[in-house]
Structure 1
Amino acid sequence: MSRPPLAEETTGAADTGPPPGLWRNRDFNLLWTGQSLSDLGGAMVDLALPLLVLQQTGSPTRAGVVGTAGLVTTLVCRLPAGVLADRYDRRRLMIACDALRIAVYALLGWAVLSGAAGLPVILAVVIAGAAATAVFSTAEHASVRSLVRPDQLASAVARNEARTYGVSLAGPPLGGLLFGLGRFLPFLGNAVSFVVSLVAVCWIRRPLQQPREEVAAPVGASTAEGLRFLLGHPFLRALLAIAAPLNMAFTGMIFAMTLALRRAGVAPVLVGLAGAIFALGGLLGAFAAPALQRRLRLPVLITLLCWATAALMAVSTLLSGSVLAAVPLAAAVFLGPTANATLFGHQAAVTPDHLQGRVVSGVLLAAGSAAALAPVLAGALLSHWRPGPAMLVFPALVVVAAVTATFSKGIRTMSP
């Protein structure tokens, strides 16, 4: 039997002492743990897939095609995923997505083991897995609001940020190790991680959405309703104007820094160390996010974070070509989780439950599209200018976000 809505339960317990912290929230911890493991499996596969295609075909181009197919599928599925997450039972939707991912990655593992993993099979698995992940992640984002108290939303987003950066540190080395032991192992491990995710979702007791009383509108009208709300709300408009340039700047800056270090003759091991420093900065920033949020008003916090990030990225461009450039950039990455936790926590608070999926999908589509363009932009800039001047484009993008945060009414009127 489903438990009562969280707001009612915490209201009834108001006189019995302080409410339980996020780490004692059974249902949120189940969702978080299941997704930590499935994200780890995904990070292993992200490394193993291009290695597999290279071994199978000897073509870097075909390896790139596989990666692009997954990215394009994710972007194409974002808006439909939001409609699905608002229209259907989110628990059943996530269970169906996990079941599909278990099947396709177990199939790929078997195909690799039996020598039948040709490029068409790999592409089919990547496209099906990316579509399922787009739907699952949108439903997961939309469900958090139903699992935690309003005052815990930002902390919950920060926990998810820590998960992302932790996985980016652990996943690729583990994927490389398993691929070396047996090429099928990363894909089988990914299938097992989705089994854990499915079980965790099944064990969640609370409903993941409020009851739906209205008859669902047609898909086109439903999508338009979500976009109207997203573009019509002052804070959500500001969120779009901040999240897109920030995502493009971080992705482009890290990509450009990696290329600049290699062109300067920096040893690959040091380039890899710089990448680890970036991920570690993000992980530490995710743990620090709740403390920073308690000390500053939300509008001040967002504005300060944006301007500080622009300054740190600018300093990093002055050191381009040296591994020391990773230090100020890692400090900028350290601030990223606090910005995300504050912005997306407030997004969850101001968006009605029946629109959560569509609003989240719209924001993720904008941010994801901007991030997808960043490597192309970075490569084009570095092919025409020296690294320092070329990389200044990315702190300039953060300045756009900082100006929006400074003057936007939607940001200035934010309240806890």
Structure 2
Amino acid sequence: MGAMRARRPPGRHRRGEAGAEGQRATYREVIAIREFRALWYGQGLSLLGDQLAQVALAVLVYHRTQSALATAAVYALTYLPSIVGGPLLAGLADRFARRGVMLACDLIRFALVAAMALPFMPFWALCALVFLVVLLSAPFSAARAALLPEVLDGDTYVIGSALQNMTNQAAQMLGFAAGGAMIATMGPYRALALDAATFLGSALILASGVRRRPAPRPGDGSKPSMWTMTRAGARLVFGTRNLRTLVLFAWLCGFYVLPEGIAAPYADRLAAGGPLSAPVITGLLMAAMPTGTVIGAFLFSRFVTPARRLRLMGWLAVLSCAPLIVTALRPPLAVVLGAWVLSGIGGAYQLAANAAFVQAVPAGRRAQAFGIVHSGLMAVQGAGILVGGYAAERLGPEPVVALSGVAGVICAAVLALLWTESRGDRAARMSAEAPA
């Protein structure tokens, strides 16, 4: 298999070939596709800038206001626009050319973040700019998610998604680890200016590396309003049991992301009488799940066949939550880190859920569907972190993390059963429709 693919000229891709008959695509094959490289490089560049900007923004707001509440409120602004704007603005990538939507969002965000980097910008204006920058991430992310299946097909799509997932997690680890040191050296305003430059760089990469495609058109040639498209997208996503189950699989992350939101108070407990300080342990805890996600995405996409990924999806979803239950025993740091890494590995099931979702949604409506799912994703993560923080103040972090694991396992088990039934029904229909 590898020798046959090696003879293909770089940059060419025969759609639908990878993944046929259970074949696995290779990372080399996917990276050889020029358009994917442009999407991938642009994503990595802007993600690094965003992580740096998050740290810079927190430092800047606290320095100006000396208020923990104001700092937390600005951080909350990074969730709210995606929840509100996702369902409404994501449909723009189904109305207009997706490459053009991405370029427009990048250029506008470049201007907005450049304005944030001005030292004389008042606090209220800074909050407004943050809101607008994050709001524009909804149509950009929806356009990129809808464009990726047009660039990659079959198993190459899963491999490409895995690469993007690993890039996302690696950028988080690197950005949070290096952000503080860089801001201490260059200051928050220069860090925001650097983030603005990453949006400009992303736009240049997309303009040069992604070819123009016409805008998706509705089957009847009409141009429905944004509200109409939002309602139609909601009916599409939640209208069938198969798609509802896949969406709920995606939203299951609210359970296993919750521990990251209370990593700081958990680290205070673990640091008591130990050799490591609470800030160091906080960083280790927050890096544990992204590390597991990178490992899981690589193993799941590289060594598991496409058909087997769908069969393992429910079991891995259970694995994403089950290790968290061990925290009820108040184990030492090494055990907690191991459990959180294992939880991140289980999160690799999202690759299979994402691929199945793409196949089930019509190409012309993918952006709207992805926007609705992404909006819910932000909502469940934000709500989970808020509920977890509230409960941790009263019960302590260990039982809250364990309860989150228990609830997640129960929900994952139910979804696994629904998914098994759904796959069985599809197989039965295909057998009945097959010619004798």
- Which stretch has the larger CA shift, 400-409 or 318-327? 318-327
Matched, 1:237 2:247: no
- Pair 11,303 (structure 1): closer, same or farther in 2 beyond 3 Å: closer
The code of the aligned residue for 1:410 comes to S
The equivalent residue for 1:70 is 78
State how many pairs are aligned.
Answer: 399
Distance 2:213 2:380 in 1: 30
Could you tell me which runs of 5 or more consecutive residues in structure 2 were left unpaired when the two chains were aligned. 1-11, 19-24, 428-436
**How many Å apart are 1:292 and its aligned residue?**
4.5
**How many Å apart are 1:231 and its aligned residue?**
0.9
**How many Å apart are 1:67 and its aligned residue?**
1.2
**How many Å apart are 1:120 and its aligned residue?**
1.7
Mapped contact 2:113–2:129 kept (Cα < 8 A): yes
The equivalent residue for 1:125 is 129
Mapped contact 2:233–2:365 kept (Cα < 8 A): yes
SS of corresponding position for 2:224: coil
- Which stretch has the larger CA shift, 323-332 or 210-219? 210-219
Mapped contact 1:85–1:135 kept (Cα < 8 A): yes
The equivalent residue for 2:106 is 98
Q: Deviations over 1:310-365 (max 9, x none)?
A: 321212443456453121111111221x2111111121122111110111111112
Matched ranges for 1:7-406 at <5 A: 10=14, 21-109=29-117, 111-112=118-119, 116-183=120-187, 184-207=189-212, 211-212=216-217, 214-244=221-251, 246-266=252-272, 267-268=277-278, 269-294=280-305, 297-319=308-330, 322-336=333-347, 338-399=348-409, 400-406=411-417
SS of corresponding position for 1:297: helix
**How many Å apart are 1:98 and its aligned residue?**
0.6
- Pair 300,180 (structure 1): closer, same or farther in 2 beyond 3 Å: same
The code of the aligned residue for 1:313 comes to L
Distance 1:292 1:81 in 2: 37
Distance 1:36 1:331 in 2: 25
Distance 1:349 1:161 in 2: 19
Distance 1:10 1:136 in 2: 27
Mapped contact 2:109–2:196 kept (Cα < 8 A): yes
**How many Å apart are 1:99 and its aligned residue?**
0.7
Distance 1:387 1:211 in 2: 48
SS of corresponding position for 2:14: helix
Mapped contact 2:173–2:287 kept (Cα < 8 A): yes
The code of the aligned residue for 1:356 comes to R
Distance 1:354 1:25 in 2: 23
**How many Å apart are 1:291 and its aligned residue?**
2.6
**How many Å apart are 1:263 and its aligned residue?**
3.5
Q: State percent identity of aligned pairs.
A: 22
Distance 2:328 2:424 in 1: 30
TM-score in terms of structure 1 length: 0.89
- Pair 385,361 (structure 1): closer, same or farther in 2 beyond 3 Å: same
Distance 1:364 1:391 in 2: 24
The code of the aligned residue for 2:391 comes to L
The equivalent residue for 1:4 is none
Mapped contact 1:87–1:216 kept (Cα < 8 A): yes
SS of corresponding position for 1:10: coil
- Pair 319,54 (structure 1): closer, same or farther in 2 beyond 3 Å: same
**How many Å apart are 1:192 and its aligned residue?**
1.1
Distance 1:210 1:9 in 2: 22
- Pair 256,61 (structure 1): closer, same or farther in 2 beyond 3 Å: closer
- Which stretch has the larger CA shift, 18-27 or 370-379? 18-27
Distance 1:332 1:239 in 2: 19
The equivalent residue for 1:3 is none
- Pair 329,296 (structure 1): closer, same or farther in 2 beyond 3 Å: farther
Q: Which 4+ runs in 1 deviate beyond 4 A?
A: 11-14, 207-211, 411-415
- Pair 151,370 (structure 1): closer, same or farther in 2 beyond 3 Å: same
The code of the aligned residue for 1:361 comes to G
Q: Deviations over 1:280-308 (max 9, x none)?
A: 22222222221353276234211110222
Distance 2:240 2:135 in 1: 28
Mapped contact 1:157–1:340 kept (Cα < 8 A): no
Mapped contact 1:79–1:361 kept (Cα < 8 A): yes
- Pair 11,173 (structure 1): closer, same or farther in 2 beyond 3 Å: closer
Distance 1:295 1:94 in 2: 30
The equivalent residue for 2:422 is 410
The code of the aligned residue for 2:239 comes to G
Mapped contact 1:97–1:132 kept (Cα < 8 A): yes
SS of corresponding position for 1:340: helix
- Pair 412,361 (structure 1): closer, same or farther in 2 beyond 3 Å: farther
**How many Å apart are 1:413 and its aligned residue?**
6.0
